[in-house]
């Protein structure tokens, strides 16, 4: 798998930092420990590593859940975000921030749009009113390569104002699959319905149509595209409880565009990986927050004309991602 050739460019990946100035805790089922303070130290290690690389990463993908929802309960959201962003400021590469469920536990959608977590790159495409208030954008770090950042809480009951049409639409979707009073408790009948919980979300038709148009443009230009979202969209790349509500609107669309080579997500702290039937790699990155002190959970991706090579640290495995 080693390649001595110079990559076209490289980039860093890291997921679910979930920093909080709190003592260690657990996930809901108390099966995994969460190291809220230590995640900042692990982030620092990752940034030091990226800054010392011979080939400096062109950018970092922060795959969402940058701070934990508990910050909100302690009135510490702004402070915690500042702490993590200050850490990122020592990184020589630009950071692209993806929005996850914990972003919405701490901030409203409009707060996020006017915050440092809005890393949207304005392209030269025509303005599309249907994409207002959807945090989705694309960028090209080098000729023939494109990255598309998706908003997985565009349809959700945590990422939309209660007074909005999308909130009502999202409530209808979740309630039609989940009969529980507590909507974070998954429905128990069909395993594939477990995804209809409040901490997941999905993609509106407007966003799916926009993605289709962006990928059509990429197909025409002969680009290689990596699509990024907090929430995974392939059932074999995650446990079903962490899948996007309408994953089945997205992954067939990705398969229908020859430009798409990879989909990257966070959310499922155990991570996951599969190559789908069309040859697209679906990588779900292990979460930093559940990585014990002394461990690591980040990676650097070396991008070549015919493949990407992921060099993982700690819990992140090395992988060769050949283009289809």
Ligand X SMILES: Nc1ncnc2c1ncn2[C@@H]1O[C@H](COP(=O)(O)OP(=O)(O)O)[C@@H](O)[C@H]1O
- Residue whose CB is less far from ligand X, 18 or 204: 18
Q: Does the footprint of ligand X cover residue 291 (CB under 6 A)?
A: no
- Binding range to ligand X, per CB under 6 A, among 5-13, 86-94, 179-187, 251-259: 179-187
| Residue 140: closest CA among 224, 211, 219 | 224
- Residue whose CB is less far from ligand X, 118 or 185: 185
The least CB distance from residue 199 to ligand X, in Å, is 4
- Residue whose CB is less far from ligand X, 26 or 221: 26
Burial 63-95 (b: 16+ CB within 10 A, else e): bbbbbbbbbbeeebbeebbebbbebbeebebeb
Residues sharing a CB contact under 8 Å with residue 268, sequence separation 6 or more, in sequence order: 232, 238, 239, 242, 284, 287
CA distance 21 to 102: 15
- Residue whose CB is less far from ligand X, 101 or 246: 101
Candidate residues 28, 122, 129, 306; the one interacting with ligand X per rule CB under 6 A: 28
- Residue whose CB is less far from ligand X, 56 or 177: 177
- Binding range to ligand X, per CB under 6 A, among 6-14, 72-80, 181-189, 301-309: 181-189
Q: Where are the alpha helices (DSSP H) in the chain?
A: 38-52, 70-73, 77-89, 101-106, 109-113, 165-177, 205-221, 247-255
Q: Does the footprint of ligand X cover residue 101 (CB under 6 A)?
A: yes
Give the angle 147-81-86 at the CA atoms, nearest 5°: 80
CA distance 232 to 200: 10
Q: Does the footprint of ligand X cover residue 184 (CB under 6 A)?
A: yes
Candidate residues 132, 172, 182, 220; the one interacting with ligand X per rule CB under 6 A: 182
Q: Does the footprint of ligand X cover residue 199 (CB under 6 A)?
A: yes
List residues near ligand X by CB under 6 A.
27-28, 65, 101, 182, 184-185, 199, 269
């Amino acid at each position: 798998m080693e390649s001595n050739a110079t990559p076209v460019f490289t980039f860093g990946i890291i997921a679910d930092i979930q920093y909080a100035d709190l003592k260690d805790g657990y996930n809901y089922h108390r099966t995994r420990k969460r190291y809220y303070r230590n995640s900042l130290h692990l982030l620092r290690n990752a940034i030091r590593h990226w800054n010392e690389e011979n080939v400096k990463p062109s950018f970092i993908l922060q795959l969402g859940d940058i701070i934990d929802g508990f910050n909100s309960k302690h009135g510490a959201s702004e402070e915690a975000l500042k702490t993590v962003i200050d850490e990122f400021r020592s990184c020589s590469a630009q950071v692209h921030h993806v929005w996850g469920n914990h972003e919405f536990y701490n901030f409203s959608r409009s707060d996020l749009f006017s915050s440092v977590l809005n890393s949207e790159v304005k392209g030269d495409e025509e303005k599309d009113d249907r994409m207002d208030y959807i945090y989705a954008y694309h960028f090209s770090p080098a000729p023939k390569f494109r990255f598309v950042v998706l908003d997985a809480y565009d349809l959700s009951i945590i990422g939309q104002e209660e007074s909005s049409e999308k909130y009502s639409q999202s409530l209808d979707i979740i309630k039609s699959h989940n009969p529980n009073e507590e909507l974070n408790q998954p429905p128990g009948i069909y395993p594939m319905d477990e995804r209809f919980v409040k901490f997941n979300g999905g993609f509106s038709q407007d966003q799916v149509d926009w993605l289709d148009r962006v990928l059509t443009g990429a197909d025409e230009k002969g680009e290689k595209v990596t699509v990024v979202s907090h929430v995974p969209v392939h059932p074999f790349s995650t446990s079903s409880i962490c899948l996007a509500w309408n994953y089945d609107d997205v992954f067939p669309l990705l398969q229908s565009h020859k430009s798409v080579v990879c989909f990257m997500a966070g959310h499922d702290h155990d991570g996951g990986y599969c190559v789908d039937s069309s040859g697209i790699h679906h990588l779900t990155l292990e979460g930093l927050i559940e990585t014990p002190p002394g461990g690591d959970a980040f990676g650097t991706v070396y991008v070549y004309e015919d493949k990407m090579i992921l060099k993982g640290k700690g819990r992140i495995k090395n992988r060769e991602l050949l283009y289809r």
